[in-house]
């Protein structure tokens, strides 16, 4: 009797059909894995076209701002007036309404005694004209800011470290106490600000920042009411509280 080549579920079928069953199982598992990776993990990982050995994973943002408080002491200096240069010690207390918008209270103190004041150019003008130039000396500022974060991202340093950053623009306003030759003492006036701030994050709660702002106000000088600008450049440290955070959405 001729032996049938058909695979039957008998005791001897393991020897005849075993390799074929194993091969079919491997093909099904491989196909399932490809379909799962293509449909589920296409956003999680990317394979670099030029290399089959490297897999790049899209990470979550390592830093969240929403519903956190930021305490940011700072130091800055005026850079736009050749006749007077002042330095400001102050800072902001910020509440982040969302990942894009924030509000802050700001305070700055500029009356630092001999540290800052009129420059050598001021005395040169005084000697050559026999008249004192009109300058505005800031004393302190207190106000509020409203900011927006239009840009955030990361960059690599020598392909060894990844640095995360964000950039903000903001508008502000408040009270600026100042002194002029015409005021006869310290007076206050409304002032407005427009600024740019960039943070570089060190970890989940600490960042370094640079800040550039243009503060302007109308001051009563001997020549009349004049718009004065104080372009200030500075930086400081941002401390975010609470120190940690939890993700509430999937990747």
- pLDDT over threshold 80, residue 60: no
Q: What is the mean pLDDT of residues 23-48?
A: 42
- Between the alpha carbon of residue 228 and those of residues 75, 116, 133, 169, 219, the distances in Å are 21, 18, 14, 21, 7
Tokens 């927006």 identify what position? 148
Q: What is the pLDDT of residue 124?
A: 93
- pLDDT over threshold 70, residue 66: yes
Range picked from 5-9, 22-26, 38-42, 50-54 for highest mean pLDDT: 50-54
Query: Given pLDDT bands bounded at 50, 70 and 90, which one contains residue 35?
Result: very low
Structure tokens belonging to residue 42: 């296409």
- pLDDT over threshold 60, residue 34: no
69-241 adopts what CATH topology?
A: Porin (2.40.160)
Q: What is the mean pLDDT of residues 99-119?
A: 94
Q: What is the pLDDT of residue 11?
A: 44
pTM of the model: 0.72
Range picked from 36-45, 157-166, 241-250 for highest mean pLDDT: 157-166
Q: What is the pLDDT of residue 24?
A: 53
Per-domain residue ranges of the chain: 1-58, 69-241
């Amino acid at each position: 009797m001729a032996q049938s080549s058909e695979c039957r579920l008998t005791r001897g079928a393991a020897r005849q059909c075993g390799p074929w069953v194993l091969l079919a199982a491997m093909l099904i598992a491989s196909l399932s894995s490809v379909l799962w990776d293509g449909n589920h993990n296409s956003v999680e990982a990317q394979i670099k076209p030029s290399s089959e050995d490297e897999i790049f994973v899209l990470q979550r943002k390592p830093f969240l701002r929403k519903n956190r408080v930021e305490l940011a002491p700072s130091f800055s200096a005026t850079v736009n007036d050749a006749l007077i240069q002042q330095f400001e010690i102050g800072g902001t207390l910020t509440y982040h309404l969302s990942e894009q918008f924030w509000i802050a209270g700001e305070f700055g103190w500029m009356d630092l005694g001999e540290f800052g004041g009129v420059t050598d150019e001021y005395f040169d003008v005084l000697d050559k004209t026999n008249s004192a130039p009109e300058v505005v000396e800031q004393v302190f500022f207190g106000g509020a800011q409203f900011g927006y974060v239009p840009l955030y991202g990361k960059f690599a340093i020598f392909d060894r470290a990844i640095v995360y950053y964000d950039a903000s623009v903001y508008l502000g306003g408040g009270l600026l106490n100042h002194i002029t030759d015409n005021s006869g003492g310290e007076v206050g006036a409304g002032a407005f600000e427009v600024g740019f701030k960039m943070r570089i994050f060190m970890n989940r709660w600490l960042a370094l920042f640079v800040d550039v702002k243009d503060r302007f106000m109308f001051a009563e000088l001997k020549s009349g009411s004049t718009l004065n600008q104080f372009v200030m450049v500075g930086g400081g440290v941002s401390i975010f509280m609470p120190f940690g955070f939890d993700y509430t959405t999937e990747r």
